[in-house]
Amino acid sequence: MSSIRRYLVTMLIAMLTLTSFMAALHSYRESISRADQLFDDDLQMLAASLLPSFTKVATGPELADDKLGSVVQIWRGNTLLYRSANAPAQKIQAPEGYSEQNFSGQRWRTYLQLVPAALSAQSVQSTDRMQSTDSMQSTDAATTAAQTVPLSVLVAQPLKQRQQLAEEVVLASIYPVVLSLPLQALLIWLAVSKGLSPLLKFAEQLSGKKADDLTPVQLSQVPAELSQVLGTTNQLLAKLSDAFAREKRFASDVAHELRTPLSVLQVNLHNAISQWQQAGVADPQGLMPALQDGVQRMSQLIEQIMLLNRTNPEHFKAKLQHMDLAALCREVIAELYPQILQKNQQVELCGASYVPLMADTFALRLMLVNLLGNAIKYTPADGEIKLTLATDDRLVRLTLEDSGPGIDPKEYQRVFDRFYRVGGDRHQSGQPGSGLGLAIVKEIVALHAGSLTLGPSGFASGLKITVELPQ
C-alpha cells in the first residue's frame, strides 16, 4: 500500500459509485415500471372518457392528438364510428384489455374496452327519450342494433415514444446523482485528508528531527487511533536516548580508565628502557621495543575509538563554517611532514590554490589526517603521494593517490567496516593499524552529504581515494 489516503479515497469513491449505480439501476427499473403503469392507466382513462360520446350511433368529436401520438378506433361490430387522424382505416385486431400489437410500421401498446350490447342500448334509449316523436322510428332501429352489436373502444400508444418519455423522466431524476459524483469524490478527498492530518503532522515532526533530537513528539488533539502509535514512538525515542547516553558514558569511562594506566605504562616503559641502557643491559630479542610498540598501538586504538564515537552522525553536531580546503591540506601536510621525511617520500599538492567550502574544520582535518596518514604508512620509502583539489558543478573533489601496494577491488567495500584490515593483523606492509581510519573517513564524508569512492591510482601501483563534497 503506497498511500493510505489514496487507498481510502479510492475505496470510498468506488463503493459510493457502486452503491449509487445499483440504486440508480433499481430506481430506473422501478420508475420505468411505474411510468408504464401510468401510461396504461392513461389509456384506460382515455377509453373511458370516449364512451359517453359514442353510445349513440353517431360520429363523435375530433380528438386532439397528444404528445405520444395516441391512436383511437371506436367500432360497433364491423362499423367504424370514429378513428383518430393517425389511426389506420382497418380494424386493429387486439384482445380485450392490454396488449402489444404491430401496425403502421411500429409496435404499439393497446387497450381495448368492450361495451356490452345491453348497456349500449340502455344508454341509447335514455338519450332518445328527449328527442321528438318524428324521430321515433330511427331511434327504434338504432336501439334494436345496439341491443345486438357491442361497442368496442381501442386506444393505442407507440411503445417507442412511451419508452423515450419514460426514460427522459427517469434520467432527469438520475442525472443529478451521477453529476454529483465528482463533487462527492472531492468531499471524500477533503474529509480523508482532514482525518489524516494528525498523521501527517506526526510524520512531519519525526522527519524534522535532527540526529541528536530524541525528545518526545508532541501533538495537539491526538485521535484515539494515533495515540497508541504516538505513545509507542515516544517510548522508542526514550529508549534510544537512554542507549545513546549509556554509549557516550561508556566511551568516556573507557577513555578515562584506559588512558591513565596507559600513560603511566608508557612513562614507566620509557624509564625502564633508559635504565637498561645506562646499566648496559642487553636486549638481544628486542622485547622492550616490541612492548613499547604494543603500548603505542593500544593508545592509538583508544584515540581512534574516541574519534569514531565523536564523528558518529547520531552524536556529532557539525559546525559548518566557511573554510579553505587547500589551506587545510597544506597545514596537514606540514603537520605530517616529519613522517614523510623519515621515509623520504615525495608529496605533491596539485589543483586550485584556493578551494572555498562550507564544512566542519575539525572533521575535515581529522579526515585528511587519516587519509594522508594511511598513504604515508602504506607507501614504501622513496614512494610518491599526490593530492589533487578541483571544483566542479558546486562540488569539491579531493583525490589522493599513492604508489603503495594498493587494495584488491574486491575489498573496496569491506575496508570501510570498523576494525577490518586487509589481511588481518598480518598486513603485508607490516604496519600496525586498528582498522578504523577509513571508517572514520566514511562517517565524516556522510556528515557532509558527500561521496567516497576507491580505485586504482595513476602510479604503477597504489590506491586512489576520491572524496566529493558539496560546496
pLDDT category at 135 given cuts 50, 70, 90 is very low
pLDDT at 45: 67
Q: Grid coordinates in use for 447?
A: 556528515
pLDDT category at 56 given cuts 50, 70, 90 is very low
pLDDT digits (tens, 9 = 90+) for 232-261: 888 888 888 888 777 767 766 766 677 777
- What residue type is 9 in one-letter code? V
So where are the chain's domains?
A: 22-177, 224-308, 318-470
Q: Determine whether 381 is exposed, middle or buried from the number of CB atoms within 10 Å of its CB (0-12, 13-18, 19+).
A: exposed
pLDDT category at 284 given cuts 50, 70, 90 is low
Distance CA 125, CA 118 (A): 11
pTM over 0.85: no
pLDDT at 424: 54
Distance CA 266, CA 269 (A): 5
Give me the percent of the chain exceeding a pLDDT of 70. Answer: 77
pLDDT at 62: 45
Residue 415 pLDDT exceeds 70:
yes
Distance CA 365, CA 352 (A): 18
Distance CA 233, CA 206 (A): 10
Between residues 403 and 422, the one the model is more confident about: 403
Domain 318-470 belongs to what topology?
A: Heat Shock Protein 90 (3.30.565)
pLDDT category at 72 given cuts 50, 70, 90 is confident
Average pLDDT over residues 399-416: 85
Average pLDDT over residues 38-67: 58
Sign of CA dihedral 17, 23, 26, 30: negative
pLDDT digits (tens, 9 = 90+) for 178-193: 777 788 888 888 888 8
- Of the candidate ranges 105-119, 311-325, 370-384, the one whose mean pLDDT is the lowest: 311-325
* Sheet containing 463-470: order of strands: 346-351, 384-392, 395-402, 463-470, 451-456
Distance CA 166, CA 38 (A): 10
Rounded mean pLDDT of the chain? Answer: 77
Q: Which residue has the cell 608508557?
A: 266
Helix ranges, 324-436 (H) = 325-335, 337-342, 361-378
Residue 10 pLDDT exceeds 90:
no
Q: Grid coordinates in use for 134?
A: 318524428
Q: How many CB atoms lie within 10 A of CB 464?
A: 18
Average pLDDT over residues 411-418: 79
Sign of CA dihedral 327, 329, 335, 338: negative
Q: Tell me the β-bridge partners of 158.
A: 108
Q: Which residues contact 30 (CB under 8 A, 6 or more apart)?
A: none
pLDDT at 223: 79
**CB contact at 8 A, 387 and 347:** yes
Between residues 153 and 301, the one the model is more confident about: 153
In 183-297, the DSSP E strands lie at none
- Of the candidate ranges 51-60, 89-98, 161-170, 342-351, the one whose mean pLDDT is the lowest: 51-60
- Of the candidate ranges 68-82, 241-255, 301-315, 445-459, the one whose mean pLDDT is the lowest: 301-315
pLDDT at 402: 92
Q: How far is C-alpha 166 from the geometric centre of its chain's CA atoms?
A: 45
